């Protein structure tokens, strides 16, 4: 009876945590799309909303960590259940980082709105951001459904995002060489593109955690990476 009660209590606690994860994921997905739209349409008000929403994302990560720690302390979950709780904590950490990158995009888009636009850059950035947002959505769906196959598909799609980044990198270099007045704007755009590429890496990390949760092992093959640029990229997003 006690064991059944404990299992039921753990299931309830996990449902609460998973609800917070999905809420956090929804906020992050919206932040990605809104940040790219703010850049494309030069909407400073929307960019500011993205920056403000990052506080909610951070708060949710903190709540998830507190709740997960409480569950571990009170429920003493068995190995498989403990794996679930630890996976949740890692997913929330990845989501928080993606939120930071979206906030950084919004900051740079506000700066870019004061500069002459680079033809085609906003639309290309927006397409790349949409691809990453779909990766993130599918990674979270894979978690809820415990779908290792969908998670593996997300993992492979990261190479497409890398290739989009490479194409943008070369395009920005071309703009800078053709007209030195484009250098500052193209540097900001390049860092935004790199932020989106890193978002794809975090979505991939979530997918890999799902595979670990379902199978008990992380993928042992080296994931192909399509970023072949030699530029030194900052990883900070705060």
Orientation of helix 44-75 relative to helix 79-112, angle to 10°: 170
Which residues are CB-neighbours of 9 under 8 A, at least 6 positions away?
A: 75
pLDDT at 228: 60
Segments forming the whole domain that contains residue 180? 2-215
Total count of domains within the chain = 1
- 6 pLDDT above the threshold of 90: no
pLDDT at 223: 62
56: in domain: yes
70: in domain: yes
Reported as a pLDDT band with limits 50, 70 and 90, residue 233 is: very low
Question: Torsions phi, psi of 117, nearest 5?
Answer: -70, 150
Which residues are CB-neighbours of 127 under 8 A, at least 6 positions away?
A: 164
Give just the sign of the alpha carbon dihedral 143, 145, 150, 154. negative
Reported as a pLDDT band with limits 50, 70 and 90, residue 79 is: confident
226: in domain: no
Average pLDDT on 214-220 reads 87
pLDDT at 7: 74
The model's pTM is: 0.89
- 77 pLDDT above the threshold of 60: yes
Q: What is the largest CA-CA distance in the chain?
A: 75
89: in domain: yes
* 20-33 burial: b if 16+ Cβ within 10 Å, else e: bbeebbebbbbbbb
Q: What is the mean pLDDT of the chain?
A: 91
pLDDT at 227: 61
pLDDT at 4: 62
- 172 pLDDT above the threshold of 80: yes
CA–CA separation, 6 and 129 (whole Å):
42
pLDDT digit string, tens, across residues 129-163: 999 999 999 999 999 999 999 999 999 999 999 99
232: in domain: no
224: in domain: no
At 15, which CATH number? 1.20.58.220
């Amino acid at each position: 009876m006690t064991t059944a009660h404990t299992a039921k209590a753990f299931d309830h606690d996990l449902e609460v945590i998973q609800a917070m994860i999905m809420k956090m994921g929804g906020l992050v997905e919206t932040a990605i799309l809104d940040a790219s739209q703010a850049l494309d349409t030069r909407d400073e008000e929307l960019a500011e909303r993205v920056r403000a929403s990052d506080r909610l994302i951070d708060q949710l990560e903190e709540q998830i960590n507190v709740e997960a720690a409480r569950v571990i302390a009170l429920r003493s979950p068995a190995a498989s259940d403990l794996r679930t709780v630890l996976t949740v904590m890692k997913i929330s950490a990845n989501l928080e980082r993606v939120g930071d990158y979206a906030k950084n995009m919004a900051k740079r888009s506000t700066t870019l709105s004061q500069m002459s636009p680079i033809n085609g850059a906003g639309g290309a950035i927006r397409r790349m951001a949409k691809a990453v947002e779909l990766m993130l959505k599918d990674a979270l769906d894979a978690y809820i459904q415990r779908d290792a196959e969908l998670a593996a598909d997300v993992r492979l799609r990261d190479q497409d995002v890398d290739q989009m980044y490479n194409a943008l990198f070369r395009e920005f270099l071309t703009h800078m060489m053709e007209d030195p007045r484009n250098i500052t704007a193209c540097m900001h755009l390049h860092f935004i593109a790199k932020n989106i590429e890193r978002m794809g890496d975090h979505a991939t990390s979530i997918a890999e955690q799902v595979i670990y949760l379902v199978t008990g092992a992380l993928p042992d093959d080296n994931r192909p990476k399509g970023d072949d640029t030699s530029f030194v990229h900052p990883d900070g997003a705060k």
